[in-house]
Each structure stands twice: as structure tokens, then as C-alpha cells.
Structure 1
């Protein structure tokens, strides 16, 4: 006889928890999600964002439409669309806006490499150079691929020239990973649609 009353009490407790902020509110329907790459000081609209050298920040919820972004001393206007994920980076003296691929297939991990270096064309491969993951990424561009969950050492190459590596990277299904190549090397940030 107590079960219906217990269930009702649990439901009421759950509803109260939602009302008191147990869960973050859902972003507005017209929101885009934007982050910065390799920028110790940056603003997206009115929001301050930081990303350590060679890394990616968390995504910031931004209304769709025109966005004013500033990375370091360089600023510009960018256009974002609702429901999409983007990365903003500095390429030379201009801002570039890159559309990110989400981890839609929960059975796969998504690898994205961003070429923020001066290298004309970059390939992401296994460290031995035998298996290509993403190829032909030009400066200021990115390339993505969904892969199985695995632990692997990856490296960036220009032809046969080794540009940097990430050792024993554990790729987990349903997560996304941002590999950022700069002239000083290759770094990685797990980027599973984390927003703030």
C-alpha cells in the first residue's frame, strides 16, 4: 500500500530538484555553440573565454547570427547558425571560423585536427605513418573522422616529415577530440560538446 505514495513522493522530490537548479537550463532554440582555439585571451560577444596554448576552450552558448569575436588583439565579425558547433582560431592576422563535427554516432569517437601552423598540408596518421586518419588539411582548416574506440598513438605529418605526436591516446566512444597543430607542435583536448 505504500508504493503509490512513495512513487508520488519521489516524483515530487525530482520536480523540486529540477526547480532548484539540479540541472542546467536548456539553451535557447536559436543557440549556436562556439569555442576558441589556442587563445589565452579571447571574447565571444560579451563572454570571456580562454584556451591554453595549443588547446581548445569549452563551448560557449551564442545566439545565432552575427558574432563579434576577439582573440588577442585581433577582432572581427563572424556568422553562426543555430544548432551548430564552431571553433574560432587566429590564422596569421585574421580570424577563421571552423564548423565542428559533433559526436552524433555514439558508437564512434570523433577526431578533428586543426591546422593552425604554416605547414601547407597536414596528414593525421598512426605514429608509424602506415594508417591515414585525416589527410590534406591546409592552414586555417580542419578535418574530421569518426573512429572506433581504441588506444592509439597518433602523429601529424607533412609528407614524411613528422610534426608532432600524441602518445597512447584513449579514444572513447561518443566523445570528440580536438587535435591542434601549431608551429610548436601537436596538442589535444577532449571536446565532447562541453558547453558553458
Structure 2
């Protein structure tokens, strides 16, 4: 009986050790995670970051409080709260700080869609238009939803019109995905809180 109990404890410990690699690190004390969207050249505080067209950069650690963000030629003072996740986007010549939902449900995949297009309101649905995932995302805003792991075709819609389609998106539980819609289409980036 003692041997069985010892083996059970060792097995549980080994499984826990393997799982620790699956989880993203927490922000350092008094810090937040911040990234940029759709910004080939950008700085967040003292960190230089890049996000290819219609994509998301890695998150960087920013101390709580005010910092300077610069995307291209546009700069602004922004304020973050420790323990939160943010995305910085340029909308109509101004920088906007969007609060991102944390991917804290390891049994689900987290989808976040960002509307950086001129379309006033969009919906994220399955590409056939039958299943709604996130609805009513206005220009310069975002919307999120945790979903089951699945491989699926996704599209951003304005009413019945598809504005951009992604085929065969493999959504894995425990991961987060950033979908960025611009006037040129829809792009997917697998998000991570691993810092640059």
C-alpha cells in the first residue's frame, strides 16, 4: 500500500511538472503585458516591437502606471494596471489602449477579434455564416470568446457580407488567438504572454 501511494505521488508530481510548461508566466509584480497591432515599427516604453500588417506583436512587460507608446509617427501617453493585458492600436490618428481578456481557461481556446477596419460594426462567425462567435465589434474595439478546441473556417462579417475568411484554423485549448481585421482582410496571430 505504501509503495502504491508513493508511486501515485511521484506520478502526480511528474504530471504537474510537465503541465508547468503549458502555462504562460504571470506578469512581474506591479507590471502589465502590452502589445501592438498592425504596427511595423513601434515602441512601448523603452521596448522596440513590431507587428506585421494586420498582425499582433508579442507582449512586452510594462511597469504599472503611465508609459509612452509610439506606433509609426503617432505617440501618446497611456496608463496600464498591473496584472492586466493590453493591445495598443492606431485609430483615426490616435493611439487606443484596448484591454485584452486573459486566457485563463486552459480547457478552452480564446479568440479575440480586433476591428481595425473602417466598417462600423463586424461579427466573427464560422465561414458559412451559420454560427456566431463574437458579435457587434465596433471600429477600434475588440471582442473575445472562449471556445472548444476545434479546426474551423472563420470569417468576419458585415451583415451577410464576408470581409475576410480564414480556412482551417486549428484552435487548441489553452492557447489564445488574435484575429485582426483591416480594410485589406483578416489575419490570425497565435497570442502568447511570453515576453519579447
Q: Give the TM interval when normalised to the shorter protein.
A: 0.7 to 0.9
Mark the CA change 1:26 to 1:157 in structure 2 (over 3 Å): closer, same or farther: closer
* Paired residue secondary structure (1:129): coil
Question: 1:102, 1:193 within 8 Å by CA — same for their partners in 2?
Answer: no
Once the two structures are TM-superposed, the CA of residue 27 in structure 1 deviates from its matched residue by: 5.1
2:136 aligned residue: 136
Q: Taking structure 1 as the reference length, what is the TM-score of the superposition?
A: 0.86
Gapped regions of structure 2 (runs ≥ 5): 1-24
Question: 1:134, 1:145 within 8 Å by CA — same for their partners in 2?
Answer: yes
| 1:52-107 alpha-carbon deviations (Å, 9 max, x no partner) | 00000000000000011000000001110000010001112000111111111100
Q: Taking structure 2 as the reference length, what is the TM-score of the superposition?
A: 0.86
Larger Rg: 1
Q: Supply the distance in 2 between the matched residues of 1:26 and 1:109 (Cα, whole angstroms).
A: 18
Consecutive aligned runs of 4 or more in structure 1 exceeding 6 Å deviation: none
Mark the CA change 1:186 to 1:77 in structure 2 (over 3 Å): closer, same or farther: same
Matched, 1:123 2:123: yes
Matched, 1:189 2:174: no
Question: 2:59, 2:192 within 8 Å by CA — same for their partners in 1?
Answer: no
RMSD, matched Cα: 1.2
Q: Supply the distance in 2 between the matched residues of 1:80 and 1:45 (Cα, whole angstroms).
A: 12
Once the two structures are TM-superposed, the CA of residue 161 in structure 1 deviates from its matched residue by: 1.1
Mark the CA change 1:129 to 1:98 in structure 2 (over 3 Å): closer, same or farther: same
Q: Supply the distance in 1 between the matched residues of 2:53 and 2:192 (Cα, whole angstroms).
A: 19
1:150 aligned residue: 150
1:8 aligned residue: none
Once the two structures are TM-superposed, the CA of residue 26 in structure 1 deviates from its matched residue by: 7.4
2:76 aligned residue: 76
| 1:29-69 alpha-carbon deviations (Å, 9 max, x no partner) | 00100000000000001111100000000000000000110
